[in-house]
Amino acid sequence: MNETLPMDEKYKVTLSGYLKEYKESLESTEEFWNKKSRIIDWFEPFTKVLDDKNKPFYKWFVNGKTNMSYNCLDRYMNTERRNKVAYIWVPEHGEEKVITYFGLYRRVNSFARALLDLGVKKGDGVTIYLPMILEAPIAMLACARIGAVFNVVFSGFGEEALAQRINDSNSKTVITADGGYRKGNVIQLKKIVDAAIELSNGVDNVIVVKNVHNKINMVQDRDYYYDEILQDGYVKPAELDSNDPLFILYTSGTTGKPKGIVHGNGGYPVWVANTMKWAFNPGEEDRWWCAADIGWITGHSYIVFAPLLLGVTSVMYEGAIDFPKPDRMWDIVERYGVNILYTSPTAIRLLMKYGEKYPLMHDLSSLKVLGTVGEPINPAAWHWFYEEIGKSRCPIIDTYWQTETGGFTIAPSRELGMPDLKPGSATFPMPGIDPVILNESGKEVPPGEKGYIVLKKPWPGLMLTVNGDPKRYVDTYFSKFKNMYLMGDYAIKDKEGYYWLLGRSDEVLKVSGHRIGTIEIEDGLVSMKEVAEAAVFGKPDTIKGDTIIAFITLKDGYDKNVDTIVSIKKRMRSELGPIMVPEEIHIVNTLPKTRSGKIMRRVIKAVYLNQVTGDISTLENEASVEEIKKAMDLIRKEED
């Protein structure tokens, strides 16, 4: 942890530039953001930078009027960027497609017109359930253009999860495709949409992109093919208020159903554009590849909005990074001359497992900068990425942030002043971010000690609220430490001020970088007819971060056998989606509980991992611990 890696001389500008901006951002907040807000165009200027009268519901750029689609597209139409490539889209198989800013502008206008013709209006909810195809950013921008509030649902979620999001976002329109490709297989997206609509409160329109050209069921007067409703023409971008919602994105928490995180039209674009520039500083000619999925915040902020707001050329890839062969990622870097590659520690660990042979097959000399996101990066993966991929030339921008923060909160700043890097540390906060590490009673811990990472000041990328549940916004993020934003992670600040992120402080898992609440999987399990109780936790995994483990008890009359487990897994896959299926499900007679009846996940996990220590006398049913121990002994014996 004390290793420091001095940056190559050419990157090693002094930190003074960064420190100056950082200081200004905290000391003269309004002036600072007034300047930085010019990164986008405003139809009407704001009357106040920050209104913090109703804490913690902060309002940025009060009364300002703007439009995301205008800022990503229209403002380039009389400049050289008009003919610049916006996306090089790389399919899982077949030829790439190249689309310029003008091409994207035309398509977004056509689709915005089609949405208006279907009756979609400002403020209406639209659910987008698409694979990684160009129609995904087109749909997001078309909604943004007319002020419809979109929510993108990752295509690895199943019908139940989709239905829940359609209902919560009050969507009467769903945009999907006939199917999507994943490692050579076709995912039947339209079928899942049909099943989800059955479970939902009902929708008026389903728009279907022909992508895999399979046979699908189309419902008359409800389902429309995308290419049949497009119309040429111009749609005037709606003049939206800074604090009007732009999108909702659902993410996992520790209690109840997923939270609909709401981002707005003013603060969010200012934040994502500035943070991308500070951290990565892409040049006009650079090719940027953010290898995430549009279904997650990384895709929203750094595949779609920030790159377009900065006029960057992006590579967008449809498929899996190791398909059809483990060199796919390196092949794309070489073939399309990627200069900045932004990916996840899970991806790095997976590709590292395949060995150096694969990157060595390709010329990676176009790379200038590397970035990571989603989980803490372990030093071994950091070094592999730095040395084998970046050839010790490319700084690694480890970006720490989350759905709720809109964009990076802690990351090295290539633009303002690149610090010497320490493998595994995200280094220093972005301007405007004022972190502190607190102990349980809210006192700041000394350097080197672990505590909760909390942000003391609001910043423009902070979500507006939790959709339909402002109380949950306050309770989840601003209650443990009053009026300070709780990130939900443990961290250490070392003596030199570097931040080290240590993982979640709550019961949220990171499975291959995807954020999954144990509670959602438990809810899914107990909704099965045979399951009485469930306890879910994460088992550390060297590639995926966590894998999902479940212990369940059955209702009377159901057999404790393998067939039950297989059948439960199958239904979990179709209802919640493949990413939510536990790797292992163990059936036991009872689960350890406290006297008040709370299932003790932590005890089960400790027994499972063979790490039981300490006193378990507060448990109501210690015998169940014995049962789990016995079950684990049996499993271990079988494994030997």
Residues near ligand PRX (CB under 6 A) are: 251, 296-298, 373-376, 398-403, 426, 487-489, 501, 504, 515
Extended beta strands in 282-420, E state: 287-290, 313-317, 340-343, 369-373, 396-399
Smaller CB distance to ligand PRX: residue 372 or 553? 372
CB of 410 to ligand PRX, least distance (A): 8
Select 318 or 489, whichever has its Cβ closest to ligand PRX.
489
Q: Which is nearer to ligand PRX, 111 or 485 (CB)?
A: 485
At closest approach, how far in Å is the CB of 382 from ligand PRX? 11
Q: What minimum distance in Å lies between the beta carbon of 186 and ligand PRX? A: 27
Are 5 and 422 contacting, i.e. CB atoms less than 8 angstroms apart? yes
Least CB distance to ligand PRX at residue 127 (A): 19
64 vs 488 by CB, closer to ligand PRX: 488
CA distance 357 to 266: 46
CB of 483 to ligand PRX, least distance (A): 20
Q: How many CB atoms lie within 10 A of CB 357?
A: 9
Q: Which two tokens stand for residue 218?
A: 């189309």
3-state secondary structure at position 251: strand
Closest distance of CB 514 from ligand PRX, Å:
7
Which whole-number Å values give the CA distances from 515 to 9, 111, 252, 254, in the listed order?
37, 31, 6, 11
Nearer to ligand PRX, 275 or 399 (CB): 399
Q: Which is nearer to ligand PRX, 96 or 541 (CB)?
A: 541
How far is 147 from 125, CA to CA, in rounded Å?
10
Work out the angle at residue 19's Cα, subtended by the Cα atoms of residues 17 and 21, and round it to the nearest 5 degrees.
Answer: 70
Question: DSSP string spanning 41-85?
Answer: --SB--SEEEE-TTTTS-EEEET-EE-HHHHHTGGGTTSGGGGSE
Residue 601: CB minimum distance to ligand PRX, A: 18
Nearer to ligand PRX, 107 or 259 (CB): 259
Nearest CB to ligand PRX, comparing residues 190 and 263: 263
The nearest distance, CB 345 to ligand PRX, in angstroms, is 8
Residues 6+ apart with CB under 8 A from 189: 129, 130, 131, 155, 176, 177, 178, 179, 180
Q: At what angle do helices 562-575 and 518-526 cross, to 10 degrees?
A: 120
Of 526, 504, 503, 518, nearest to 580 by C-alpha is: 518
Joined together, the tokens standing for residue 424 give 């595994």
Q: Are 520 and 258 contacting, i.e. CB atoms less than 8 angstroms apart?
A: yes
Output 164 or 251, the one with its CB closest to ligand PRX: 251
**Could you give the strand order of the β-sheet that contains 85-90, starting from the edge strand earlier in sequence?**
97-100, 85-90, 313-317, 287-290, 340-343, 369-373, 396-399
We find the least distance from the C-beta atom of residue 521 to ligand PRX, in angstroms, to be 16
Gap between the Cα atoms of 519 and 501, Å rounded: 23
Answer yes or no: are the C-beta atoms of 396 and 421 closer than 8 Å: yes
Which of residues 388 and 398 has its CB atom nearest to ligand PRX in the complex?
Answer: 398
**Shortest approach of ligand PRX to residue 170 CB, angstroms?**
23
| CA 206 to chain CA mean position, Å | 25
* Smallest distance, ligand PRX to C-beta of residue 491, A: 9
C-alpha 590 chain-centroid distance: 36
* Beta carbon nearer to ligand PRX, 178 or 398: 398
| Closer by beta carbon to ligand PRX, 5 or else 212 | 5
Token pair, residue 1, equals: 């942890």
Place of tokens 């009053």: 482
Considering the complex, what minimum distance in angstroms separates the CB of residue 1 from ligand PRX? 14
